[in-house]
């Protein structure tokens, strides 16, 4: 499921995560599917939905760094810089290297294809995250 998102295939990713939630609505690690939906919506340019799904995941797992970054990126695209900065500040408490674009890039380039990672990083740039 996540592979679809990391491969910048938001349509199949959305379908797979929605199906997983339908099949197991009480899954104790459902936050992973919620966060995956947030990332899929980010990739598809549905930023409000990305924030909504990321918020659901963060409520259950506040230390989910990729999801908090996803929310920050979606907020960047929406022009909600203050909200994005709150996410980034929370991230820096858990992972000190996640305070720059290069920090995010080095952590996630192993998992995401360049175009998917580019969408994520551009949102973080729009949120005000510095390159270095």
Q: Has residue 88 been placed in a domain?
A: yes
Q: How many other CB atoms sit within 10 Å of the CB of residue 125?
A: 13
Q: Kindly report, residue by residue over 104-131, the tens digit of the pLDDT.
A: 899 888 888 999 999 999 999 999 999 9
Q: Has residue 131 been placed in a domain?
A: no
Range of the domain at 54: 2-126
Q: Has residue 60 been placed in a domain?
A: yes
Q: ∠ CA(120), CA(124), CA(126), 5° rounding? A: 115
Q: Which of 1-10, 63-72, 78-87, 89-98 has the lowest mean pLDDT?
A: 1-10
Q: Kindly report, residue by residue over 22-52, the tens digit of the pLDDT.
A: 999 999 999 999 999 999 999 999 999 999 9
Q: Has residue 57 been placed in a domain?
A: yes
Q: Has residue 132 been placed in a domain?
A: no
What's the count of helices (H) and strands (E) in the chain, helices before strands? 8, 0
Q: What pLDDT is stored for residue 6 in this prediction?
A: 62
Q: Has residue 49 been placed in a domain?
A: yes
By C-alpha distance, which of 26, 104, 107 is closest to 60? 26
CATH for 106: 1.25.40.10
Q: Has residue 87 been placed in a domain?
A: yes
Task: Supply the pTM of this predicted model.
Answer: 0.90
Q: Has residue 58 been placed in a domain?
A: yes
């Amino acid at each position: 499921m996540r592979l679809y998102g990391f491969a910048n295939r938001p349509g199949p990713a959305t379908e797979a995560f929605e199906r997983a939630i339908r099949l197991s609505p009480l899954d104790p690690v459902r936050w992973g599917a919620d966060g995956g939906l947030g990332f899929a919506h980010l990739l598809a340019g549905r930023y409000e939905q990305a924030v909504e799904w990321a918020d659901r995941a963060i409520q259950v797992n506040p230390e989910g760094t990729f999801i908090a970054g996803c929310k920050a990126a979606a907020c960047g695209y929406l022009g909600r810089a203050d909200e994005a900065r709150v996410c980034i500040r929370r991230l820096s408490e858990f992972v000190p290297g996640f305070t720059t674009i290069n920090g995010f890039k080095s952590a996630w380039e192993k998992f995401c294809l360049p175009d998917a990672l580019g969408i994520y990083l551009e949102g973080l740039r729009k949120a005000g995250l510095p390159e270095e």
